């Protein structure tokens, strides 16, 4: 029973707390809306409206003034008091705990106040627009009036140079006068916004008319005088060039000039009708066309001179090419008797002969094109340049072949010199072997010297065989060089190993009687030494001495290393 009572008390407390919280929120919202209402009341809307009293209160201005004042009076006298009563009702509803209904009415009140604020904002904007229009009109009408006088004066001065467009421009200036008068009438009637529209249209029309009065004489001068003069001059140049054996059937010069004449007539009609939008662009295109054709005539004249000069040079160059080819064939025949030519030399020669034949045919075709005027001189110049490039390539090929043949003769001399040097090197190596007094010569050294000797004999025999195969000779000489080089290295290595092995045996004999296990090792090592197996001798004695007398052996290695370095220094000086 006690728990039930406590539950009821808690429930009542929660309900009361919920009601207090919602009423507080609604009261806060009402206060916010009431503050917005107060701000609206304090807005200086009446003062804003009174700004137009300095204007002429009639017509459009009077109509707007009355509408603004009526709207503001309605807001102050009716709509804001309604808001106040509405807010009072919301508080009463909240006190009755009808919170949902109270919140719905808060939303309605907010929308109502927003509508009032929007109406006030509209009044202010329209007032600003009207007042600003009047101010701008006063500031700009004087400049527009002066502009009108300038345009009318400019029209009078330029009348004779305006051609048929003068009457249309005169009508446009009259229209400007009418707009000026309409502006005055609207301003006097208090219709400042409509006056503003007339003023803006007047400014735009004056600017357009001024630009047209300035541009039309320039355009007519180009259409009636400048460009026709260029066309006549170009036609005269074309006729003169045609009389001097030029042909323009490969170009569109005549068609372009006829098109320019037709375009000028069309453009003059547009200028007379003041349709100037595309005239300047079309005139620029015409000028570009004339410039391109003038450049074409100039290039064609230059090309004719180059072609006529180049034809004679081409014949002379072709004769020189044939002479160079004959020289190559003669040199090749002489070399072929004593030397085997490299692989591909025959196909290279055939290729050169074919290229010479092809370029001769192209030269004849070129002369035919020139004689019969089948191409423009500009095209002929391009073909002439290509022919010269082809001839340069053939000349380079011939020169390269001549140099290659001359190199073959030089290869023989160089091979003889190399053979002599290898023989000297071989003799020195053999002498060094004899002088070394090795107990036995290693088999590898014997094989290397034998191989090198055979390659030297092979190269010698090849150099005495005609025709010489220089590629095989060079390969044999290279094999000889490698064999002697290996033998020389092997000999040096064998001498060094023999000396070190002998020194180790001498060192080991000092301790022969101190260690019972040492004599057999030394005896076997000496046997290997006498048979030429110096590396085995070094390995066996080194392992024994490192184990038995490590300290003494280490000193020996150090001493021998220093001695070897001194010997290497002496050899490098020699």
Amino acid 179: pLDDT? 74
Does 129 have pLDDT greater than 60? Answer: yes
Residues 401, 348: contact at Cβ < 8 Å? Answer: yes
| Average model confidence (pLDDT) across the chain | 70
What are φ and ψ of residue 468, in 5° steps? -75, 135
What would the mean pLDDT of 40-47 be, rounded to a whole number?
Answer: 62
Share above pLDDT 70 across residues of the chain, in percent, rounded to a whole number: 54
CATH code 1.10.3470 for 300-414:
no
What is the average pLDDT across 50-63? 55
Token digits of residue 364: 């004849």
Compute the average pLDDT of residues 205-220. 75
Please name which of 504, 517, 495 lies closest in space to residue 553, comparing C-alpha atoms.
504
pLDDT single digits (tens) 436-457: 777 777 777 777 777 777 777 7
Name the band, by pLDDT with cuts 50, 70 and 90, for residue 60: low
| pLDDT tens per residue across span 169-196 | 678 778 878 777 776 776 676 666 677 7
Q: End-to-end CA distance of the chain, in Å?
A: 129
Q: Which of 284-298, 312-326, 352-366 has the lowest mean pLDDT?
A: 352-366
pLDDT in tens, 407-430: 666 666 677 777 777 777 777 777
- Over pLDDT 90: what percentage of the chain? 0
Q: Rounded distance, CA 15 to CA 210, Å?
A: 83
Question: Does residue 14 carry a pLDDT above 50?
Answer: no
- How is 142-169 classified by DSSP, letter by letter? HHHHHHHHHHHHHHHHTGGGSTTHHHHH
Please report the pLDDT score of residue 206 as a whole number. 75
Q: What is the pLDDT of residues 539-551, one digit of tens each?
A: 888 887 888 888 8
pLDDT tens per residue, range 229-240:
877 877 777 777
Q: Is the dihedral angle over the CA atoms 228, 234, 240, 242 positive or is it negative?
A: negative
Phi, psi of 339, rounded to the nearest 5 degrees: -135, 150
Both tokens of 21, joined, read 């919280």
* DSSP-based three-state secondary structure for 286: helix
Structural tokens at position 518: 């040492």
Question: Residue 10 in 3-state DSSP?
Answer: helix
Domains of the chain, residue spans: 2-149, 162-297, 300-414, 437-573
CB atoms within 10 A of CB 201: 15
Per-residue pLDDT, averaged over 150-154, amounts to 74
Q: 434-438: long-range contacts at Cβ-Cβ below 8 A with a sequence spacing of 24 or more? A: 436/491, 436/494, 436/495, 436/498, 438/494, 438/495, 438/498, 438/532
Distance (Å) of CA 44 to CA 35, 118, 244: 16, 15, 93
* Region of residue 222 (left: phi > 0; alpha: psi -120 to 50; beta: else): alpha
Query: Could you read off the pLDDT of 269-303 as tens digits, one per residue?
Result: 777 667 777 777 887 887 787 777 777 677 766 66
């Amino acid at each position: 029973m006690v728990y039930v009572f406590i539950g009821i008390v808690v429930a009542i407390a929660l309900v009361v707390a919920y009601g207090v919280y919602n009423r507080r929120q609604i009261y806060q919202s009402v206060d916010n809306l009431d503050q917005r209402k107060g701000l609206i009341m304090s807005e200086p809307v009446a003062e804003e409206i009174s700004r137009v009293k300095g204007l002429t209160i009639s017509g459009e201005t009077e109509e707007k003034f009355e509408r603004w004042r009526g709207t503001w009076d309605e807001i102050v006298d009716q709509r804001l008091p309604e808001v106040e009563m509405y807010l009072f009702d919301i508080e009463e509803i909240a006190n009755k705990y009808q919170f949902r209904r109270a919140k719905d009415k808060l939303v309605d009140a907010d929308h109502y106040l927003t509508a009032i604020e929007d109406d006030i904002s509209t009044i202010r904007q329209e007032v600003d627009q009207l007042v600003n229009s009047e101010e701008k009109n006063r500031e700009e009408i004087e400049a527009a009036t002066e502009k009108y006088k300038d345009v009318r004066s400019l029209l009078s001065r330029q009348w004779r140079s305006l051609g048929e467009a003068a009457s249309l421009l005169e009508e446009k200036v009259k229209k400007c006068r009418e707009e000026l008068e309409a502006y005055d009438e609207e301003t006097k009637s208090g219709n400042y916004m409509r006056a503003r529209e007339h003023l803006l249209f007047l400014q735009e029309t004056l600017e357009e008319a001024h630009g047209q009065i300035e541009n039309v004489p320039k355009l007519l001068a180009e259409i009636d005088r400048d460009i026709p003069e260029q066309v006549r001059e170009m036609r005269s140049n074309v006729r003169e060039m045609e009389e001097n054996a030029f042909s323009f059937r490969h170009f569109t010069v005549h068609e372009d000039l006829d098109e320019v004449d037709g375009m000028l007539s069309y453009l003059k009609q547009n200028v007379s009708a003041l349709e100037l939008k595309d005239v300047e662009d079309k005139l620029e295109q015409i000028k570009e066309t004339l410039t391109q054709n003038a450049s074409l005539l100039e290039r064609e004249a230059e090309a004719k001179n180059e072609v006529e000069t180049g034809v004679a040079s081409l014949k002379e160059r072709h004769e020189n090419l044939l002479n160079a080819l004959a020289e190559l064939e003669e040199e090749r025949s002489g070399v072929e008797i004593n030397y085997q030519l490299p692989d591909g030399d025959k196909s290279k020669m055939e290729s050169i002969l074919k290229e010479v034949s092809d370029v001769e045919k192209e030269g004849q075709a070129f002369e035919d094109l020139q004689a019969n005027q089948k191409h423009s001189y500009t095209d002929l110049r391009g073909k002439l340049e290509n022919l010269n490039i082809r001839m340069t390539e053939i000349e380079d090929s011939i020169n390269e072949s001549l140099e290659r043949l001359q190199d073959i003769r030089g290869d023989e001399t160089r091979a003889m010199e190399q053979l002599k040097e290898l023989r000297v090197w071989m003799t020195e190596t053999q002498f060094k072997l004899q002088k070394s007094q090795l107990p036995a010569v290693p088999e590898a050294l014997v094989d290397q010297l034998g191989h090198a000797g055979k390659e030297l004999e092979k190269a010698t025999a090849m150099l005495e065989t005609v025709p010489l195969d220089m590629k095989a000779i060079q390969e044999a000489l290279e094999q000889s060089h490698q064999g002697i080089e290996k033998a020389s290295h092997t000999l040096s290595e064998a001498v060094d190993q023999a000396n070190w092995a002998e020194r180790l045996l001498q060192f080991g004999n000092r301790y022969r009687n101190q260690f019972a296990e040492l004599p057999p090792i030394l005896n076997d090592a000496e046997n290997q030494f006498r048979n030429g197996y110096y590396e085995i001798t070094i390995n066996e004695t080194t392992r024994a001495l490192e184990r038995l007398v490590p300290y003494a052996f280490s000193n020996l290695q150090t001493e021998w290393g220093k001695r070897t370095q001194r010997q290497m220094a002496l050899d490098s000086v020699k």
